[in-house]
Amino acid sequence: MAVVTTVSLDEAVKDYLTYLEQVRCLSAHTIRSYRNDLETWRLWLEEQGEDWEETDEICVRGFLADMTLRKMTSSSVNRRLSSLRGFYDWACLKTDRQDNPFRRTKSLKKSKHLPTYLTDSEFEQLISLTGEDFAGYRDRLIMEMLYSTGCRVSELCSLKRDSVKGNEVRVMGKGRKERIVFLGEAARKALEEYLPLRDGKTTLHDKSGGALLLDWRGAALTDRGVFYLVDKYASQSGMAKKIGPHTFRHSFATSLISEGADIRMVQEMLGHSSLSTTQVYTHTGIERIRQVHRQSHPHGRKRKGDG
């Protein structure tokens, strides 16, 4: 029997996103992810001719199969399932919905591939491609800060001009948890070169909202803008590996672990709530050591006939 409710899916989603913003105080970036996931679910239901009040576990399995056929990564699928599981939990409390069809759907097993990271020479190659105009100085600062601090791109774009004091940067992370990260010498120099140009953009008509990173019009730079510019430099470099803003975060953590940094300190600098999330970089560090051994030690090299 269909569950009777007076709330449409659009109304329920709108109320749920308001709850996430005003009660749970989630960041705009996180809420945007929830909105995208829920919109994808709405469109899929529409294509299948299903109604959200009547969705059951069979419907959920169909949605999961569709995501699998689209070759989505396990992390993307799991994030979407988590979003919908949370939404239906809320709907069971706030509407006439009686059950959560996502409650018994298990998350996919995460793939074991190690995160992509940049070597020092690859990073320097990207930096060398930046120009001597406003965009060039800004882009150099963006890459230096991502590499120096390990910030997420959303955290970087949310920085205000006064978020930086000396070599310390005050960052608002996930769950509105604040932490301090640090600028290296190269990042500090890039900041000093960029700030006069940045401030020149706000002299007449300030559209920045106090943001540190601005686009050519003087408005705050968006996450999408950073993705675009990193992709541009990656294409110009001719590197075979796929590079995005998160690659700099992986590179930051990998470098620290490889140099012997305590994993709990790395966890703190990355803003991870769980140590298990940080532990992937210990495997990355071990792999780098293994590669050095293979390349440098005479008995580490692979001989002909070895399996």
pLDDT in tens, 41-64: 999 999 988 888 888 888 999 999
Q: Are 210 and 288 members of one domain?
A: yes
Domain-embedded: residue 292: yes
Q: Are 179 and 34 members of one domain?
A: no
- pLDDT score for 280: 66
pLDDT in tens, 224-271: 999 999 999 999 988 888 889 989 988 888 888 877 777 888 788 888
Domain-embedded: residue 107: no
Q: Are 284 and 239 members of one domain?
A: yes
**Widest CA span in the chain:** 74
Q: Are 236 and 142 members of one domain?
A: yes
Query: What is the DSSP track for 177-218?
Result: -EEEEE--HHHHHHHHHHHHHHHHTTSSS--STTBSSB-TTS
pLDDT in tens, 81-100: 999 999 999 988 888 788 89
- pLDDT score for 127: 93
What average pLDDT does this structure show over 154-177? 87
Q: Are 288 and 187 members of one domain?
A: yes
Domain-embedded: residue 18: yes
Q: Check whether 171 has a pLDDT greater than 70.
A: yes
- pLDDT score for 153: 92
* Residue found under tokens 């008995």: 299
Q: Are 140 and 215 members of one domain?
A: yes
Domain-embedded: residue 301: no
The set of catalytic residues is 152, 174, 246, 249, 272, 281
Q: Are 86 and 132 members of one domain?
A: no
Q: Are 161 and 82 members of one domain?
A: no
Task: Estimate the crossing angle of helix 263-270 against helix 245-258, to 10 degrees.
Answer: 160
Domain-embedded: residue 143: yes
pLDDT in tens, 172-186: 887 778 888 889 899
How many domains, the chain?
Answer: 2
- pLDDT score for 143: 95
Q: Are 152 and 35 members of one domain?
A: no
- pLDDT score for 1: 34
In this structure, what CATH number is given to the domain that contains residue 272?
Answer: 1.10.443.10
Q: Which two tokens stand for residue 86?
A: 């949370």
More confident residue, 157 or 115: 157
Domain-embedded: residue 183: yes
Q: Check whether 6 has a pLDDT greater than 80.
A: no
In this structure, what CATH number is given to the domain that contains residue 27?
Answer: 1.10.150.130
- pLDDT score for 76: 86
Q: Are 90 and 124 members of one domain?
A: no
Please, are residues 74 and 108 in contact by the beta-carbon 8 Å criterion?
yes
pLDDT in tens, 8-26: 889 999 999 999 998 888 8
- pLDDT score for 103: 87
Encoded amino acid at 74, one letter: S
Q: Are 35 and 158 members of one domain?
A: no
Q: Check whether 292 has a pLDDT greater than 60.
A: no
pTM reported for the whole predicted model: 0.64
- pLDDT score for 301: 55
pLDDT in tens, 204-227: 778 888 899 999 888 999 999 999
Domain-embedded: residue 271: yes
Secondary structure letter of residue 168 according to DSSP: E
Query: Predicted confidence band at 286 (pLDDT cuts at 50, 70, 90)?
Result: low
Secondary structure letter of residue 273 according to DSSP: S
Q: Are 75 and 138 members of one domain?
A: no
Query: Predicted confidence band at 295 (pLDDT cuts at 50, 70, 90)?
Result: low
Query: What range defines the domain where residue 70 resides?
Result: 9-94
Euclidean distance between CA atoms 124 and 112, whole angstroms? 29
- Residue whose C-alpha is closest to residue 46's, from 77, 98, 101, 9: 9
pLDDT in tens, 107-156: 777 665 667 888 888 999 999 999 999 999 999 999 999 999 989 999 99
Q: Check whether 70 has a pLDDT greater than 50.
A: yes
